[in-house]
Amino acid sequence: MVNLPYGLLRAFLTPFLMLLFRPKVTGLRNVPSLGPVIIASNHLSFSDSIFMPLVVPRKVTFLAKSEYFTSPGPKGLLKKLIFIALGQVPVDRTGGRRSEAALITGLKVLGDGHCLGIYPEGTRSPDGRLYKGRTGLVRLAIDSGAPIIPVAMFDTEKIQPTGKVIPKIMRVKMTFGEPMYVTGDSTNLQLLRDKTDELMRTIQALSGQEYVDIYATRRKAEMTEEE
């Protein structure tokens, strides 16, 4: 069931954003209309979490970083309300037991038959390239039986670069790939790694991005050290 804030925000934003950004969407038929499904997208910009859910005919729930919901002051409150209206769920994704809590939350969303959106890179790409995927997504797919729909977003980092509030008006494009089904032992770490790498190769084929076999968080840390 779509919550009221989400429904109102979608009804308000959809015609406005469709007119301004004229989304070009390929392969949307690959997203099932019913049942649990995981949408796995590359991540170039904050606006990915706005444009992609607006073209999907069912609600997409993202597991968002908990700090998005706890920022102080009026700006923090506004951000919290926007994330709630977008249907995002706060989770602590900093590792260990906290990451386990995120998986449990994701399983609940899928167990209720809903659509879960995940960025397998774990964070936005710092330079437009595609980075190594986190294996939790594949574990969720195995434990829930949900298919994975790989998605490629194009040029959203140009529409809204990191730190920019007002987006640039230009056409947004996205491609939804064929469903990927994963079975096996979700405790088999090698299986999780292999299937995650397969997923990232599929996203790369859709997006045309250069692939980097390290985590995006590591690259961000390296870039900070280089400054």
Task: Give tens-digit pLDDT for 149-169.
Answer: 999 999 999 998 887 778 889
DSSP 11: H
- With H, G, I as helix, E, B as strand and everything else as coil, classify residue 181: coil
| Res 180 pLDDT > 50 | yes
pLDDT band (50, 70, 90) for residue 68: low
Q: What is the token pair recorded at 37?
A: 């499904």
Long-range CB contacts (< 8 A, 24+ apart) of 79-82?
Answer: 81/5
pTM above 0.85, yes or no: yes
| Res 94 pLDDT > 70 | no
- Say if strands 173-176 and 148-154 run parallel, antiparallel, or are unpaired: antiparallel
Strands (E) located in 51-147: 60-65, 89-91, 115-118, 130-131
- Specify the residue for token string 């730190």: 163
| Res 192 pLDDT > 50 | yes
User: pLDDT tens across 100-129, in order?
Assistant: 778 888 999 999 999 999 999 988 999 999
Long-range CB contacts (< 8 A, 24+ apart) of 220-225?
Answer: 220/123, 220/126, 223/126, 223/127
Query: Torsion angle, CA of 104/108/110/116, rounded to 10 degrees?
Result: -70
| Res 18 pLDDT > 70 | yes
pLDDT band (50, 70, 90) for residue 92: low
* Most distant pair of Cα atoms in the chain: their distance: 47
How far is residue 124's CA from residue 90's CA, in Å, rounded to a whole number? 17
How far is residue 101's CA from residue 105's CA, in Å, rounded to a whole number? 6
- With H, G, I as helix, E, B as strand and everything else as coil, classify residue 112: coil
Look over the chain and give the mean of its residue pLDDT values, rounded to a whole number.
Answer: 88
Q: Which helix (H) or strand (E) holds 105?
A: helix 97-111
| Res 13 pLDDT > 80 | no
